[in-house]
Amino acid sequence: MMMIAGAMMLATSGMTVAQTMSPTDVGVQLMTGTSATDYVKLAADGDMYEIASSKLAMSKAQRPDVKAFAREMVADHTATTKTLMAALKNPDRTIAKPGTRMSTGNEAKIALLKKAPKASFDDLYLQQQMQAHQTAWALHGGYATDGTDPALKQVASTAVPVIERHLMHVKQMTTTAMSGM
């Protein structure tokens, strides 16, 4: 299986997806050519990370806007997981459900968050969220562009605007933190 962050960050494509953000806006290129099986594994791993990291943020974050964002992440990524799992229920194809354990890379990010001092937790969480959502945008945007499974392509297409909204929120919160507010 490919390395999640590295493969997504390095993937390139000349194609575009109907969306409001471009690869330049997001800081990554679309990840194209992903198999349906890999798409499911990577999307599920991303959602598991988002939910776990955001549950931590709900209890450890100091800033109210970061806590509110974390609640939004848990709700939205729980919903995208349900949509993904529903798309797998198709008797015409066989794509196994993804495992319930996060990738080693995402487990390491969770471990860093758990060890982070209170004073730096919010900044680390927001930094990880930016990276995770850039990776998710590359994955879902790429699969929405050239995915081979119509049901999963629809899942990816539906996820892109949600991810873009999350990216805008993270950018706003990061800018707010840098300005000293």
pLDDT 10s digits, 76-123 = 999 999 999 999 987 777 788 898 999 999 999 999 999 999 999 999
pLDDT at 38: 95
Alpha-helical segments (H) within 94-149? 104-115, 118-146
The tokens describing 13, both together, are 């494509």
Residue 3: its pLDDT value, please? 33
- Residue 92 is predicted with a pLDDT of 78
Alpha carbons 179 and 33: distance in angstroms, whole number: 40
Residue 62's CB is within 10 A of a number of other CB atoms, namely 12
Confidence at residue 90, expressed as pLDDT on a 0 to 100 scale: 79
pLDDT at 7: 35
Q: Specify the 3-state DSSP secondary structure of 50.
A: helix
pLDDT at position 17 is 37
User: How far does CA 80 lie from the centroid of its chain?
Assistant: 10
Q: Are 93 and 148 in contact (CB under 8 A)?
A: no
Q: Residue 23 — φ and ψ, nearest 5°?
A: -55, -35
pLDDT of res. 6 = 33
What is the pLDDT, as a whole number, of residue 91? 79
Q: Which two tokens stand for residue 128?
A: 């990880």
Burial class (CB within 10 angstroms; exposed 0-12, middle 13-18, buried 19+) of 161: middle
Residue ranges of the chain with pLDDT lower than 70?
1-27, 176-181
| pLDDT of 21 | 66
Q: Which amino acid is at 41?
A: K
Contact 148, 33 (CB under 8 A): no
Q: Which of 180, 178, 65, 72 is nearest to 133 (CA)?
A: 72
Backbone angles phi, psi at 62, to 5 degrees: -95, -35
Tell me which amino acid residue 137 is: W
